[in-house]
Amino acid sequence: MDINELIDDFLEHVEVEKGRSKKTVENYRLYLYRFYELSSEILGKDLIAPGDITPELLRKYRLRLNRYTNDVRDEGLKPITQAYHLIALRGFLKYLSRRGIKSLDPSLVDLPRAAKKQVTFLHYDEVEDMLDSIDTSTESGLRDRAIIELLFSGGLRVSELIALNRDSINLDRREFLVRGKGQKDRPIFISVAAANATRDYLAARDDSLPALFLNNSHNLNAVDTSGDFRRLTTRSVQRIIDKYARAAGITKHVTPHTLRHSFATDLLMNGADLRSVQALLGHANISTTQIYTHVTDPHLREIHEKFHSET
């Protein structure tokens, strides 16, 4: 049996039974079709069977991935991107194993040891500087303040923020649910300032569109009756954050995810435990949340103050 058909079956399994997002499925499709393409070149055959996937093919495939370059930009694949290819392949092999189809043992697919990401975050006074740089005499200014307040106060992903509708968020209780990665719901709690900023923005609007955050276009779209034609995009929010970071004189690269990092870091610095922060961020594994500990461990500061502060 050609693995092309099995890859399609696996992608349907990932989407329907695993409940993964369309973006995840698209990425898995890209990674596995690239595996098929490179394996065909390595083996010199157009049709690849599950039994053709051997430790030797895996070794040569990893070498090809490491040497792979984009024809347009002439860039190689980053180690983390190579790891994503292997994660998709390992998932596919597990799927074959569960179906009783003989192929390479999934446990033989070792992932490369990726370098730890450096966490960029803002201190509270830097977030305050960003907020102070906003002209809130305009509707767009009120919107931008509400966006920054919500990202920092609730630890939202930008995808979660732009998906919010007016009726998604309870400003009186200052809590609501969002559906994050893996279609998992988690509670979001926001500050009084974030609730007030959002309330002020909504009061300034004169439309009845459902999206919580809108762009500045007032062109009517007769085709889209949902109102989503004016919903803010990820890129728009990125530009908004960059604009006010520059206005506040912040030299580090600031993105919407930087505010999510800042949310987590601020919690840990003020004594929150790692498990609670994991739940508030919606991380499936505690290891993901542990990227923050090296910048928030108060014991390290105590050691420095005790043994090195006078030198």
Positions marked active-site: 157, 181, 257, 260, 283, 292
Burial (CB < 10 A; 0-12, 13-18, 19+), residue 311, is exposed
Report the candidate in 15, 4, 116, 9 with the shortest Cα–Cα distance to residue 50: 4
8 Å CB contact between 266 and 253: no
Q: Return all residues near 286 (Cβ < 8 A) that are at least 6 apart.
A: 274, 275, 278
- From CA 94, how far away is CA 106, in angstroms rounded? 6
Bridge partner residues of 69 (DSSP): 76
8 Å CB contact between 155 and 281: yes
Bridge partner residues of 123 (DSSP): none
The secondary structure of the chain in percent helix, strand, coil, rounded to multiples of 5, reads 60, 5, 35
What's the half-sphere exposure (Cβ side, CA atoms, 13 Å) at 251?
A: 0
SS3 28: helix
User: For the stretch 5-42, what's the b/e string if a residue is b when 16 or more beta carbons lie within 10 angstroms of its beta carbon?
Assistant: ebbeebbebbbeeeebbeebbebbbebbebbbebbeeb
- From CA 89, how far away is CA 97, in angstroms rounded? 12
